[in-house]
Structure 1
Amino acid sequence: MKKLKKVLLVLAGLVLIVAIGVFVFVQSLKPDYDGKISLSGISNEVNVYFDDYGIPHIYANNERDATKALGYVHAQDRLWQMELLRRVAKGKLSEVFGADLVETDKFFLSLGIDDNSVQAVSEMDLESEAVILAQAYLEGVNQFIEEGPTPIEFYLTGLEKKPFELNDIMDAMGYMAFSFAMAHKTDPLLTDIKNELGEKYIQDLAVYSDTTTTWIKNYRNTKVDSLDLDITAGVFQALNKLPVPQFEGSNSWVISPSKTKTGKVILANDPHISYAQPSVWYEVHISTPTYEKYGYHLAGGPFPMLAHDRNVAYGLTMFENDDIDFYLEQTNPADTTQYKTENGWENYEYITKEIKVKDAEPISFTVRKTRHGPLVNNVAKQIKGDTPIAMSWIYTQNKNKVLDAVYEMSHASNLEEFEGALPKIHAPGLNVMYGDAEGNVAWWATAQLYQMPDSVSTKMVMDGASGKDEPVRYLDFSENPSAINPPWNYVYSANNQPDSIAGMLYPGYYLPENRALRIVQLLESKNDWDRESTSQMILDATSLVNPALVAELIKLLDVSHLNEEQLVQVDALRNWDGTYTLDGTNPTLYHRCEYFMVKNTFLDELGEEKFKQFIGTHVFKRQIAFGAQMKTGIWWDNILTEDKVETREEIVLQSFAEAWQSLVDDFGPDASQWTWDKVHTLEHPHPIGQVESLRSFFNVGPFPVNGTREVINNMSFTYDGTGFHKVNVGPSTRRVVDFSDIENSMSILPTGQSGNPFSKHYKDQAEMFVEGKFRKMMMNKEEIQNNSPSQLVFYPN
């Protein structure tokens, strides 16, 4: 018995030692929010106050010291995210996740983002203030890499930490630029539909501009006194496997003083980005004697993409302009190393790349390039067809000055200085929203735009050999859509169609008018906006379009064939105001019917694979309202039933019956149980959370969430046939900047400030976010010092 007791005591001691070891190890992985750290190269002490949500407020004697401290604290919270983001453009995801990411790496290497980054860095003025500060930021990041704790993800994947360089910053910006584009998801698919089904099927799709929808109006004023071309499948599959979020859409509006209660400008912005953990933005407040900014940084970004101070505020949405074109090339039959141009044969450029693969041998492949860009077919095995298709992308073709632009935007003190930075953004296309303390409001569509020949549709794969489908000219920035201090006293963007300039519409992949229609309705209805009412507007979950579609289609139902419960629910839908609440049943029935109607309309012609691709495009989002109101059209007929031609009425009746039965199968016959909270949920996925045993530790959620697709509170999802709508895109932050009380402006992040799962700020905003709450963006130094629970002091060594 004594021996047994001794053995048990020894075992207990060992367990205790292991537990202590695990505890100490975990504690060592947490970010340092308190204490003192020697930071190389700074000239004076830098004080970093972390508020209740882990947001650093950096106070320094000069901007270079502040930016170096930013690099350190950014890395300690987001190094894993930085690592993944820089790996996308370099084709180095397979090195982390194995062979499953090889095709994704091939695709991004073929785009040439990293090559463009290297070229951009070689052309930089190393003595410019933007580059000096970017280098200071990297020095802070790299000191953390050298001296700070290693994030748990590096241990789990076996990765070695390596220093960051300037081209890593550019790679992150390049990925953002590509993520904003939609042509790669759309043009080849539309071309394929046209080739397989015919032009009539394209005519009945919402491909081009619709003059009946809500457009963003232009206005200029001075400052106020105060083929077998099945390449789409490979693109979709490559992008779907990305372990970092993609940029999708956004809302923003800026209200002029004459429409606010206080007579001061209010800016609202909520960029829509794919949900992931950690969330996209890192929130930072920097203050020096000559510079102050409260901003939102991308992983690895030294300058904020969204920001405000006491004089200027700005936000972003996606422009959705068409900046990617596909060209059908002709290879010389006598010499396969050449392709045809209007001036004769030219040589293909051959670029060989190598991909390192975890637990496997490296893979080498060669990309062919023409004057238009890389050939995208046969780069990845999913991309079919031997016909050479080149992708022309404005981002890699023009000189890259985006870093300078972002620096200048973040350092502008007035409207003129701010506008002066924007022509340097050639891609991605952005709607830049602006407001200031002097009362100015403005919107600019920023991108390098170009005019194509009148007869050319850039929504289709074009002729690369004749020279007839080349740009006619590049437009000066002054010709871009914009509105500065318009007489209607607000500017806005919801990724919808901008109005023309000089009688010309810019081609793009604009989202439907749904959100724009609601934003304009609400802004027009009031002239006494304040911070509270604006924050309620950014949470608005009412669709003006969906009830109108119900009213149109419900007339087609034969009520004599409906049972009593169906009649009750149809009547409820008829009286629905388009509002989405967690306890509502109208949204559940509406979307179930919409999915079956879409499926019964398009699946027979497109087949499973192309149908999945189609419902992932912006064309599909525009098609819902456009197509449902077409009383006749070629898509209504089911081509699989050879003995009859289906009508819209028959498709509506069939879809309602199938939707009803599927809801009964899922939730039972009591329609009062078909509430939105049971089908509409949000989970923030971490790449390592894909391992089921680690999901609950790394992922955040799931939560039932309010909102839906294409309302202001745009909690979007892609139909997958299950009837359960897992939100994959939505507000990446909600910001309300009020110049009447700048120190009480409000914001929220979807999960938390830190990407470190051991940090208390990993998910401390997640429930607030789904509940529609906000927190203060603190800028008052005395308030920050008195209320910050922790302080980190960097001192020079």
Structure 2
Amino acid sequence: MKPSLGRALKWSALGLGTLIVTLAVVLAGVALWLVRSVPASEGESVAAGLGAPVRIMRDSHGIPHVVSADGRDAFVALGRLHAEDRLFQMELFRRFGRGELAAVAGSAAVPADTYARTLGIARMAEADYAAASPALKAVLEAYAEGVNSWIAGRDRPLPPEFTLLMTEPAPWRPSDSLVLGKLLGMMLTGNWQGEALRSRLAARLDGETLEFLTPPTGGGPAIDGAGTLAPFAALPALRRALDFAFEVPGADQIGAGASNAWAVAGERTATGKPILANDPHLGLMAPGLWYLVHLAAPDLAVVGATIPGIPMPLLGHNGHVAWGLTTTNGDAADLFIETVDPADPTRYLTPDGPRPFELREERIEVRFGEPVTVTIRSTRHGPVVSDLAAGSLPRAEGTVVALAHAALQPGDKTPEALLGFVAAKDADDFLAAARQFHSPQQNLTYADTKGTIGMVSAGRLPVRKSGDGRMPADGASGAGDWTGFVPFEALPQVRRPGSGVVLNANNAVTGPDYPVLVGKDYDVPYRAERLAALLAAKPAGYTLDDAAAGQADTLSPFSVEFIAPLIALHGPAEGRPGEALAILAAWDRRMSADSPAPLIAMAWARDLNRRLFAGRLGEDYGGWAGLRPVQLRAVLNGQGQWCDDPATPAAEDCRTQARAALDGALAQLAAQQGETPADWRWGKAHVADMRHPILRFLPVLSGWTAIRPPVGGGEDTLLRGAMRFGARDNPFANVHAAGFRAVYDLADLSRSRFIISTGQSGNPYSPHWDDLSGIWAADGYVEIPTAPEKWQGPGYREYRLLPSR
């Protein structure tokens, strides 16, 4: 029989079809197998380390209520729950903090491992564990037992990431939890990266230009509602830590920090007891950073937000006290320029003569490769970080740069403070515990059921011989050396203020005459001033609904200040510019997701800033870019020379630049959302961009695991959604926001409300992977009732952990 083309195609199609079916069956089998990695929410199992049975009641969102015979068993159960729901996240953070990523990720992670080893995060954590109190050690050990009971005793596959990476988690060590805490301390004290940026700019800009672009400025309310504060922060936060995992650390996160917290005294509330609100802002990711839980035992009661890997709740209430955190932006880290001894490169100069570098070797295991041995140098100030990032830390020939950082100092008692917060019976107990809160420096907002409200900027704040910490110091002279830390009593704090309000939105917590230098780099006071105005408008009868409305407030103070002047500067226009200007003129200045005006306003501001400043900043513009109201205000109020582009022969004025910026912005928006400005929507561009740190790089899994709801808010609103104005792609995506929000009613703490940005689970197959994201995006909350009778309703499931025999 002669071969037939039709017959050949038929058999080829049959063969291809068979292959496709087989492949589909295999993939379906793998998918079904991975579905089994989702832990059971009902039933019972044995957990090593328990002294008595533990009852776990999960609600319809997977939020657990843990009821145990004592606090130790509660922490065993919490370790197990964290491992069940977020084991890969815990493993990733632990490996980053210990400098052990390359062992699973290969040579691409060697720079990140070198970074962590150079800082010595794990070494410091081990030292702190050795010096920990018996009570803290007991909690850390119980938690580790719970994690390991899940790893060793599981009856189902590991989470999908382990399967994809073909690796397994190592047993959890008690000190691993301290590694994660130190990692947070490092990432929430990032002013040293601001120093690095200023030093780069100082190398090619004159002093006047440098001060204009990176000024210490002030304005707005202090923590008691009556004082001064200053703008922008140098705060990389935890999302930057994940970026570091695959690159040499950079210094491009100036202006990235934000959080809100306030407390209103009982004389101003409807219930006669305080109300407290808190929404800490960090980089968005999937799964989110936070995990909600309720722990109940005769010697323990707490409801709030934990970070998987750390047993102590960071935020919440314990039935007597509620507390929240905002980053102080205190200057708790410095760069020192060390001069290498010209006669001996193994030594560096000090005020007391040359001293040898401290050297140690670290061996980094590399998957699919040979181990890498790195030699790490340290000086009397700290690790030599210029060995890591020579391109981002300019230095003269014969010098190196060392980092002094509060989080790397010995004797960090912050975990002890967190245990004290959980046990506090009133504000006095809380403040006593706050004395041990060392790093990162945070504004602790608190309120108790007795009626006390207050705030304290707790944490180690260095005392310098001289200087303000805004630029690297000369290590050889010792002029900028640290001589100790500011005593707790001298740290900014207020208790029972006469105004009946404490508030902070990363604004300065001191006035200009305060005797202690806290810092110079704060956030623009827009959020603080807006919050103060909202609180002033409700001097009595304040409610939980008012607090929730404050967290959801989208009024843009930047737009209130600048849009009308920019419209006037531009002048009348026809066509698409005319349509856009009309939309802006009628706008209520709220950053609503369903409005075109916020998109036009932000695109115009972004393009204008690029035209005014990118040429002067060069490659550093991307890290500096943002709304920059301080600079724009100066330009519009007389410093019009910034409107002239030095790269062109023409002499541009500000009207020319404003018109060109609007034209450029509108052209880009038309390409993205169509020709008609009225049809554009802020929410289409301003999506909350929550992506998996590993799966985001895989084409199919990236889309499957991404959580990207459209949201309102912006850089300057209380409902904050920070963007990457300097990014080429998706510059308006919300990448940094309140991943946790809570409002507390001290008259009845069971009425308190909570929300996180994703879901409780870190497993994409789980129904709790993203089931809270819609509520979060709609500015909603859930309640976590503490009364057992409230756990009997629909959606609650019971799981029992039994002690091993």
Given the alignment, which residue of 304, 312, 327 partners 1:303?
312
* 2:776 matches 1:766: no
Query: How far apart in 1 are the matches of 2:731 and 2:486?
Result: 45
28, 33, 50: which one aligns with 2:36? 28
Q: CA deviation at 1:657?
A: 2.9
- The answer as to whether partners of 2:49 and 2:146 remain within 8 angstroms in 1 is no
Distance 1:243 1:531 in 2: 43
| In 2: Cα distance, 1:133 partner to 1:749 partner | 25
Aligned-residue offset at 1:18: 6.1
The AA in structure 2 aligned to 1:476 is: P
Pick closer, same or farther for the CA change 1:635–1:62 going to 2, 3 Å: same
Partner of 1:321: 330
* 1:108-144 alpha-carbon deviations (Å, 9 max, x no partner): 221121111121122223xx22211221111011111
Confirm whether residue 356 of structure 1 aligns to residue 360 of structure 2. Answer: no
2:615 — aligned with what?
604
Residue 147 of structure 1 is matched in structure 2 by 153
Q: 1:219: how far off? A: 9.2
Q: Using the alignment, how far apart are the partners of 2:373 and 2:141 within structure 1?
A: 32
Residues in 2 aligned to 1:274 and 1:547: alpha-carbon distance in whole angstroms: 27
CA contact 1:681–1:727 (8 Å) conserved in 2: yes
Aligned 1:45-84 pairs, distance under 5 A: 45-84=53-92
CA contact (8 A) 2:723 2:732 kept: yes
Report how far residue 441 of structure 1 moved. 0.8
Q: Which residue is 1:85 aligned to?
A: 93
Q: CA deviation at 1:377?
A: 1.5
Tell me the residue number matched to 1:658: 664
1:237 deviates by 8.9
SS at match of 2:562: helix
1:304–1:508 CA distance, 2 compared to 1 (3 A): farther
1:269 counterpart = 2:278: yes
For residues 366 and 756 of structure 2, the distance between their equivalents in structure 1, rounded to whole angstroms, comes to 34
RMSD (CA atoms): 2.9
The change in CA–CA distance for 1:621 and 1:251 in structure 2 (over 3 A counts) is farther
1:530 paired to 2:556: no
Say yes or no: does 1:689 pair with 2:696: yes
CA contact (8 A) 1:251 1:493 kept: yes
Change (3 A) 1:193 1:637: farther
1:603/1:450 Cα in 2 relative to 1: closer, same or farther (>3 Å)?
same
Task: Write the distance in 1 (CA, Å) between the matches of 2:335 and 2:390.
Answer: 19
* Matching of residue 172 in structure 1 with residue 180 in structure 2: yes
**For residue 109 of structure 1, what is the aligned residue in structure 2?**
117
TM-score (norm 1): 0.90
2:400 to 388, 401, 404: 388
Deviation string, structure 1 residues 502-538 (Cα, Å, up to 9, x no partner)? 4444214311111111111101101212122221221
Change (3 A) 1:659 1:13: closer
The counterpart of 1:545, out of the listed 548, 555, 558, is: 558
Between 1:181-190 and 1:406-415, the stretch displaced more is 181-190
- The Cα shift of 1:166 comes to 2.1
Pick from 336, 347, 354 the counterpart of residue 338 of structure 1: 347
Distance 1:672 1:570 in 2: 11
Q: Name the counterpart of 1:377.
A: 386
C-alpha distance in 2 between matches for 1:542 and 1:12: 54
Given residue 612 of structure 1, which amino acid in structure 2 is its aligned partner?
A: G
Q: Paired residue for 1:614? A: 624
> 1:142 aligns to what SS in structure 2?
helix
In structure 2, distance between residues paired with 1:735 and 1:65: 27
Post-superposition Cα deviations, 1:341-390, rounded to whole Å, max 9, x if no partner, equal 11111111112222223322222222211111111113247556553111
Which secondary structure state, in structure 2, belongs to the residue aligned with residue 33 of structure 1?
A: coil
Partners of 1:252 and 1:317 within 8 A in 2: yes
Residue of structure 2 aligned with 1:405, choices 412, 417, 420: 417
**Equivalent residues of 2:196, 2:393 under 8 A apart:** no
Partners in 2 of 1:49 and 1:32 — Cα distance? 12
SS state at 1:155 partner: helix
| Partner secondary structure for residue 780 of structure 2 | coil
Q: Distance in 2 between matches of 1:603 and 1:403?
A: 43
Q: 1:447 to 1:109 in 2, by over 3 A?
A: same
| 1:622/1:422 CA distance change after superposition, 3 Å | farther
The alignment partner of 2:204 has SS state of: helix
1:713-756 deviations in Å (ceiling 9; x for gaps): 11211111446512111111111111233222211111111112
Q: Counterpart in 2 of 1:699?
A: 706
| Structure 1 counterpart of 2:381, one-letter code | H
Match of 2:453 in 1: 441
Whether the aligned pair in 2 keeps the contact of 1:551 and 1:574 (CA below 8 Å) is yes
CA contact (8 A) 2:558 2:629 kept: no
Q: Does residue 98 of the first structure (1) align with residue 106 of the second (2)?
A: yes
Cα pair distance change 1:239/1:85, threshold 3 Å: closer
Q: Closer, same or farther in 2 for the Cα pair 1:639/1:762, shift >3 Å? A: same
Whether contact under 8 Å (2:280, 2:325) holds in the other structure is: yes
5+ residue gaps, structure 1, are 221-231
Aligned residue in 2 for 1:791: 798
| 2:438 and 2:460 in contact (8 A); partners too | yes
The more displaced of 654-663 and 274-283 is 654-663
State the partner residue of 1:223.
none
- Whether contact under 8 Å (1:36, 1:793) holds in the other structure is yes
* Worse-superposed segment, 622-631 or 759-768: 622-631
Q: 1:573 to 1:206 in 2, by over 3 A?
A: farther
> For residues 236 and 77 of structure 1, what CA distance do their matches in structure 2 show?
20
In structure 2, relative to structure 1, the CA distance for the partners of 1:653 and 1:472 (3 Å cut) is farther
Q: Retained in 2: the 8 A contact 1:103–1:381?
A: no
Cα distance, 1:628–1:46 mapped onto 2, change above 3 Å: farther
Go from structure 1 to structure 2 and tell me whether the alpha carbon gap of 1:69 and 1:473 turns closer, same or farther (over 3 Å shift).
Answer: closer
Counterpart of 1:227 in structure 2 is none
Q: What is the alpha-carbon distance in structure 2 between the residues aligned to residue 374 and residue 111 of structure 1?
A: 6
Deviations for 1:375-408, whole angstroms, at most 9, x for unmatched residues?
1113247556553111111111242111111111
Equivalences for 1:474-553 in 2 at 5 Å?
A: 474-500=485-511, 502-526=514-538, 527-553=540-566
- Of 664, 674, 681, which aligns to 2:680? 674
Task: Kindly provide the amino acid, as one letter, of the partner of residue 240 in structure 1.
Answer: D
CA contact under 8 A between 1:182 and 1:509: conserved in structure 2? no
TM-score for both structures, normalised by structure 2: 0.89
Q: For 2:74, what is the secondary structure of its paired residue?
A: helix
Assess if the C-alpha contact under 8 Å between 1:206 and 1:623 holds in 2.
no
Letter in 1 for 2:761: S
Query: 1:203 aligns to what?
Result: 211
1:776 matched to 2:791? The reply is no
Q: C-alpha separation between the residues in 2 aligned to 1:237 and 1:39?
A: 35
Aligned-partner SS, 1:487 = coil
Q: Name the CA distance, whole Å, in 1 between partners of 2:314 and 2:380.
A: 32
Q: Which moved more, 1:83-92 or 1:658-667?
A: 658-667
1:254-299 CA distances to partner (integer Å, 9 max, x unpaired)? 1111111111211111111111111111111011123211121112
| Separation of aligned partners in 1, 2:678 and 2:718 | 26
Deviation at 1:58, TM superposition (A): 0.7
Distance 2:56 2:525 in 1: 44
- Please say if residues 689 and 697 of structure 1, whose CA atoms lie closer than 8 Å, have aligned partners that are also in contact: no
Q: Deviations for 1:613-669, whole angstroms, at most 9, x for unmatched residues?
A: 2227xxx7564555454421664442223x455444443333223223333343344
- CA contact 2:140–2:175 (8 Å) conserved in 1: no
- Which secondary structure state, in structure 1, belongs to the residue aligned with residue 733 of structure 2? strand
Closer/same/farther in 2, CA of residues 146 and 648 from structure 1, 3 Å limit: same
Letter paired with 2:288: S
Structure 1 residues 11, 703: closer, same or farther in 2, change over 3 A? closer
| Structure 2 alignment gaps of length 5 or more | 1-10, 228-234, 248-252
Deviations 1:421-480 (A, max 9, x none): 1121221011111011111111111111233355x2411111111111223553111111
Count residues with an aligned counterpart.
766
Partner SS for 1:468: coil
Cα shift at 1:539:
0.8
Cα distance, 1:68 vs structure 2: 0.8
Q: CA deviation at 1:11?
A: 11
| 2:232 alignment partner in structure 1 | none
